[in-house]
């Protein structure tokens, strides 16, 4: 696939003029040139029947690596179509880390059988990971870092390095006799030193670490910002259970970005492009229902001013302007705060000055644009008071949007709810209601009352 895009290959596999022989030739070429990542993307891009056909033609040695790279729903669609004995044969010999990646895709009745075929070391590693929730770094960390007892001599460590050096390894983690983390030594400090010295003499005791119960995305951000290729993962009692390396950290950051993007539309990042119609409809219906409730709530507030709207039609024409200005102003503040929370920049200490600053920004923009919109509306409908009404409503809504844009994500974060997922839905409801009540309420007082 080096010289072809995924779209080109999909087109060739799905072309009505293509015969089975030519499609087989394409797949054979793919197996020689394509990485598991690209093959996973290809399978996800194919309708279900063609996906299964292509899957059946892959070598067994390639299937598990490809499954690991696929989204959960897409990989599950393949596995649930396979015979039980085929799956048991496919998963025999996989390690604990691979099983952790695939456990949500493997049918429940097969998971225990697959686990039972693993050796004792891998079973223990899988069980250790299950002690942590799947959103905690202890569940996903690499359990094979470079670890040696703190009393080990340099010559023994150098022999270990010549035999085995995992990817993203620039440090060695030191432990005591109970496996508790004692410090870290950079590998480049060991070259040219006396081989009879103990490695603990070169330890960095202030090397950063990750709590095993820390959230995976927070841990990934810490690794990315640390400047280190990996950080140790330690339990609250001090036991070293593994590490989180920069490769995994960047993958997690990418996964988080995709999750937030999909969540804005009420979707799951694991949703299959060719998932069954009923399943896709069910997944999307939930957020459509939430949106419907918020829309009815906004409509109820509008209904309170039905008499006003009947007398002053111009208010109905201009209502979307008020709601839209508040919505965009609030989303700007919300985005800034969500980013600040993700980077750990926001605390109780700086929340008040941040709120003051955003209110001032909202007031300045509100006054500026209220003058512009007020003049346009007043001239359009030949009504000075209508211009005043919409101008004041714009200022009120933009200032309230700024306040909501700060407090909504902060409160959601305190409640352990990702503000990037649901903050925009709540914010839109707030700005719509505040905008409509301010605009129609002032309209009732100044234009009718």
Q: Which pair of structure tokens corresponds to residue 323?
A: 């709601």
Q: Which pLDDT band holds residue 3 (cuts at 50, 70, 90)? A: very low
Distance from C-alpha of 274 to C-alpha of 258, rounded to nearest angstrom: 18
297 touches 433 (CB < 8 A): yes
pLDDT at 144: 75
* Sign (positive or negative) of CA dihedral 37, 38, 44, 50: negative
- Specify the pTM: 0.61
Report the range out of 37-46, 69-78, 100-109, 205-214 with the highest average pLDDT: 205-214
- pLDDT exceeding 70 applies to what percent of the chain? 82
pLDDT at 251: 83
What pLDDT, in 10s, does the model give residues 60-97? 888 898 898 888 888 888 888 888 888 888 888 888 88
Q: Please give the angle made by the CA atoms of 168, 174 and 177, to the nearest 5 degrees.
A: 140
Average pLDDT of the residues in 387-406: 91
What is the maximal distance between C-alpha atoms in the chain?
A: 94
Contacts of 418 (CB under 8 A, 6+ apart): 260, 263, 412
Angle (deg, nearest 10), helices 72-79 and 36-44? 80
Element (H, E) at 189: none
The side-by-side arrangement of strands in the sheet containing 230-234 is 210-211, 230-234, 240-245
Distance from C-alpha of 409 to C-alpha of 333, rounded to nearest angstrom: 10
pLDDT at 282 over 90: no
Q: Which pLDDT band holds residue 231 (cuts at 50, 70, 90)? A: very high
Q: Which pLDDT band holds residue 378 (cuts at 50, 70, 90)? A: confident
Q: Which residue is it, tokens 């030594």? A: 185
CB-CB neighbours of 404 under 10 Å: 23
Higher pLDDT, 262 or 368: 368
Lowest model confidence (mean pLDDT) among 84-98, 146-160, 248-262, 271-285? 271-285
Distance from C-alpha of 84 to C-alpha of 145, rounded to nearest angstrom: 35
Distances (CA, A) of 398 to 322, 391, 438: 9, 11, 11
Lowest model confidence (mean pLDDT) among 139-143, 369-373, 406-410? 139-143
Angle (deg, nearest 10), helices 72-79 and 60-69? 150
113 touches 99 (CB < 8 A): no
Q: Mean pLDDT over all residues of the chain?
A: 81
Q: Quick one: which of 170, 187, 304, 148 has its CA closest to 245?
A: 170
60 touches 86 (CB < 8 A): no
pLDDT at 271 over 70: no
291 touches 425 (CB < 8 A): yes
pLDDT at 400: 92
């Amino acid at each position: 696939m080096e010289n072809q895009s995924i779209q080109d290959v999909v087109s060739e596999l799905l072309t009505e003029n293509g015969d089975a022989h030519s499609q087989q030739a394409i797949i054979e070429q793919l197996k020689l040139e394509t990485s598991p990542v690209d093959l996973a993307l290809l399978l996800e891009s194919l309708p279900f029947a063609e996906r299964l056909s292509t899957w059946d033609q892959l070598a067994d040695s390639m299937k598990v690596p490809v499954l690991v790279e696929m989204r959960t729903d897409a990989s599950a669609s393949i596995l649930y179509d396979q015979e039980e004995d085929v799956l048991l044969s496919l998963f025999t010999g996989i390690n604990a880390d691979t099983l952790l990646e695939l456990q949500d895709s493997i049918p429940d009745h097969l998971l225990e059988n697959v686990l039972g075929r693993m050796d004792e070391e891998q079973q223990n590693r899988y069980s250790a990971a299950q002690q942590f929730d799947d959103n905690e770094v202890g569940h996903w960390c690499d359990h094979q870092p470079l670890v040696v007892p703190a009393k080990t001599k340099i010559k023994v460590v150098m022999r270990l390095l010549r035999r085995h050096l995992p990817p993203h390894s620039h440090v060695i983690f030191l432990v005591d006799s109970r496996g508790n983390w004692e410090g870290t030594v950079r590998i480049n400090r060991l070259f040219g030193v006396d081989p009879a010295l103990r490695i603990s003499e070169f330890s960095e005791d202030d090397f950063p670490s990750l709590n095993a119960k820390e959230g995976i995305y927070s841990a990934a951000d810490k690794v990315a910002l640390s400047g280190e290729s990996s950080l140790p993962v330690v339990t609250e009692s001090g036991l070293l259970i593994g590490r989180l390396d920069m490769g995994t950290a960047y993958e997690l950051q990418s996964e988080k970005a995709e999750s937030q993007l999909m969540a804005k539309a009420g979707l799951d990042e694991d949703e299959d492009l060719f998932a069954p119609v009923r399943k896709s409809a069910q997944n999307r219906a939930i957020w459509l229902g939430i949106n419907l409730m918020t829309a009815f709530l906004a409509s109820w507030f509008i209904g309170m001013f039905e008499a006003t709207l009947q007398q002053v039609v111009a208010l109905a024409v201009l209502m979307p302007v008020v709601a839209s200005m508040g919505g965009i102003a609030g989303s700007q503040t919300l985005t800034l705060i969500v980013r600040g929370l993700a980077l750990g920049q926001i605390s109780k200490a700086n929340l008040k000055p941040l709120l003051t600053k955003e209110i001032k920004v909202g007031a300045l923009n509100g006054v500026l644009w209220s003058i512009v919109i007020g003049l346009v509306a007043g001239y359009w409908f030949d009504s000075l008071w209508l211009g005043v009404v919409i101008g004041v409503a714009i200022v009120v809504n933009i200032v309230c949007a700024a306040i909501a844009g700060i407090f909504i994500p902060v409160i959601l974060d305190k409640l352990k709810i990702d503000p990037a997922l649901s903050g925009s839905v709540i914010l839109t409801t707030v700005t719509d209601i505040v905008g409509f009540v301010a605009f129609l309420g002032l309209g009732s007082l100044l234009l009718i009352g």
